[in-house]
């Protein structure tokens, strides 16, 4: 057996021994925290992060995550859930004193949307933001994620940038009046070719031009490691415009420790800057099954130890 595999298997076995002493039974919600401590930062699992250990009922998932020390959740698809289910989720989050990360308000990767001037697209985006405001008023979830869509191959880049700024000024004004914050997400060109918004510096320049507290950035560390790297200095340079974080190691887009990113140093830096928002765990697991779900929790324990 290779040394690396031996270490991984030994660590997993040791973790499982500890896990077996947690009182795990037929009900996943009976699982106790690995050490009872809350995480230092608001790492936010998705509702599908622990299907084996927590099941599929969103209320039970929240209870499980709270028991493991997490203080936030995220749900990209929150707007698509039935209202009664949204209400149950928010009620349990409130009971557990947990936050909710950004939901996806608009992210069509196939359409040239904000980069062009089109009356129908404008009306659609305005309606989306008004719907997001109503969702915020009902649930209290403040951050709504938007993607400006594809770039136009026939139009000068600067004209497209100006169109995005104009569109975000209008949408930002609606959002600000309603208490909502739009967070723009840059996405890497390798995984999502053809999109307009690809980097934190680019998103920063747009947010500065929009000049609204309702227009901020999702700094997705996985995407930005691919796109420009230099994560901490770029984070510092754009800090005034960062509204939320997404997480995922690179390569692989799995939990911290499975790739090349030094998440422990990054989280220490984020903590020292006084960030009190949510960091969405928007990534997969490197190991399948219950063992992988436990390894996911332990990976965050390790990088949270700063």
Whether 17 has a pLDDT exceeding 50, the answer reads no
**Domains identified in the chain, total number:** 1
**Using an 8 Å Cβ cutoff, are 217 and 243 in contact?**
yes
Percent of the chain with pLDDT over 70: 88
Long-range contacts of 30-39 (CB under 8 A, 24+ apart): 31/64, 31/67, 31/68, 32/67, 33/67, 33/68, 33/69, 34/68, 34/69, 34/297, 34/298, 34/301, 35/69, 35/301, 36/69, 37/69, 38/69, 38/71, 39/69, 39/70, 39/71, 39/300, 39/301, 39/304
Neighbours of 105 (CB within 10 A): 24
176 an active-site residue? no
- Asked if residue 187 is part of any domain, the answer here is yes
pLDDT single digits (tens) 270-289:
999 999 999 999 999 999 99
The DSSP H or E segment spanning 71 is: none
**Using an 8 Å Cβ cutoff, are 171 and 126 in contact?**
yes
CATH of the domain at 205: 3.20.20.150
Q: Considering 185, 241, 255, 293, which one is annotated as catalytic?
A: 185
- Asked if residue 4 is part of any domain, the answer here is no
Using the structure block, give the residue that is written with the tokens 């998932």: 61
pLDDT band (50, 70, 90) for residue 35: low
- Asked if residue 8 is part of any domain, the answer here is no
- pLDDT value of position 15: 43
Whether 42 has a pLDDT exceeding 80, the answer reads yes
Whether 2 has a pLDDT exceeding 70, the answer reads no
Q: What is the mean pLDDT of residues 13-28?
A: 40
pLDDT band (50, 70, 90) for residue 36: low
**Residue 31 has what DSSP assignment?**
P
- Asked if residue 21 is part of any domain, the answer here is no
pLDDT band (50, 70, 90) for residue 210: very high
- Asked if residue 9 is part of any domain, the answer here is no
pLDDT single digits (tens) 129-167:
999 999 999 999 999 999 999 999 999 999 999 999 999
- Asked if residue 87 is part of any domain, the answer here is yes
Whether 33 has a pLDDT exceeding 70, the answer reads no
- Spell out the alpha helix ranges (H) of 140-156: none
- pLDDT value of position 34: 56
Percent of the chain with pLDDT over 90: 88
**Residue 53 has what DSSP assignment?**
H
* Cα distances (angstroms) measured from residue 155 to each of 26, 120, 151, 160, 251: 59, 19, 9, 7, 33
Q: What is 172-229 written as a DSSP string?
A: HHHHHHHT-EEEE----TTTSTTBS---HHHHHHHHHHHT-TTEEEEEEHHHHHHHT-
Q: Considering 92, 112, 255, 282, which one is annotated as catalytic?
A: 282
**Using an 8 Å Cβ cutoff, are 215 and 207 in contact?**
yes
pLDDT single digits (tens) 91-138:
999 999 999 999 999 999 999 999 999 999 999 999 999 999 999 999
pLDDT band (50, 70, 90) for residue 293: very high
The residue range of the domain holding 44 is 34-303
- Asked if residue 17 is part of any domain, the answer here is no
241 an active-site residue? no
Q: How many residues does the chain have?
A: 306
pTM for the model? 0.89
- pLDDT value of position 138: 96
pLDDT single digits (tens) 227-257:
999 999 999 999 999 999 999 999 999 999 9
Whether 32 has a pLDDT exceeding 90, the answer reads no
The token pair at 76 is 């990209």
**Using an 8 Å Cβ cutoff, are 59 and 92 in contact?**
yes
Whether 60 has a pLDDT exceeding 80, the answer reads yes
pLDDT band (50, 70, 90) for residue 21: very low
**Using an 8 Å Cβ cutoff, are 282 and 74 in contact?**
yes
């Amino acid at each position: 057996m290779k040394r690396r595999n031996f270490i991984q298997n030994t660590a997993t076995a040791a973790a499982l021994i500890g896990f077996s002493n947690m009182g795990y039974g037929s009900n996943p919600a009976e699982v106790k925290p690995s050490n009872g401590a809350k995480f230092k930062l608001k790492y936010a699992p998705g509702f599908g992060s622990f299907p084996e250990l927590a099941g599929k009922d969103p209320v039970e998932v929240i209870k499980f995550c709270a028991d493991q020390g997490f203080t936030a959740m995220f749900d990209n698809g929150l707007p698509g859930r039935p209202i009664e289910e949204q209400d149950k989720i928010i009620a349990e989050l409130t009971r557990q004193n947990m936050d909710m990360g950004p939901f996806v308000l608009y992210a069509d990767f196939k359409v040239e949307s904000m980069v062009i001037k089109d009356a129908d697209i404008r009306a659609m985006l305005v309606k989306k933001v008004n719907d997001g405001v109503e969702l915020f008023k009902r649930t209290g979830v403040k951050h709504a994620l938007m993607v400006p869509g594809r770039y136009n191959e026939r139009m000068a880049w600067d004209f497209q940038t100006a169109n995005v700024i104009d569109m975000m000024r209008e949408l930002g004004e609606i959002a600000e009046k309603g208490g909502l914050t739009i967070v723009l997400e840059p996405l890497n060109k390798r995984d999502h070719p053809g999109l307009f918004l690809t980097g934190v510096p680019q998103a920063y320049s747009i947010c500065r031009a929009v000049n609204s507290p309702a227009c901020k950035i999702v700094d997705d560390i996985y995407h930005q490691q691919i796109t420009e790297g230099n994560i901490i200095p770029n984070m510092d340079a754009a800090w005034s415009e960062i509204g939320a974080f997404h997480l995922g190691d690179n390569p692989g887009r799995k939990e911290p420790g499975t790739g090349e990113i030094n998440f422990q140093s990054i989280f220490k830096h984020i903590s020292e800057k006084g960030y009190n928002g949510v960091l969405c765990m928007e990534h997969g697991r490197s190991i399948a099954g219950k063992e992988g779900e436990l390894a996911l929790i332990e990976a965050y324990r390790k990088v949270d130890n700063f």
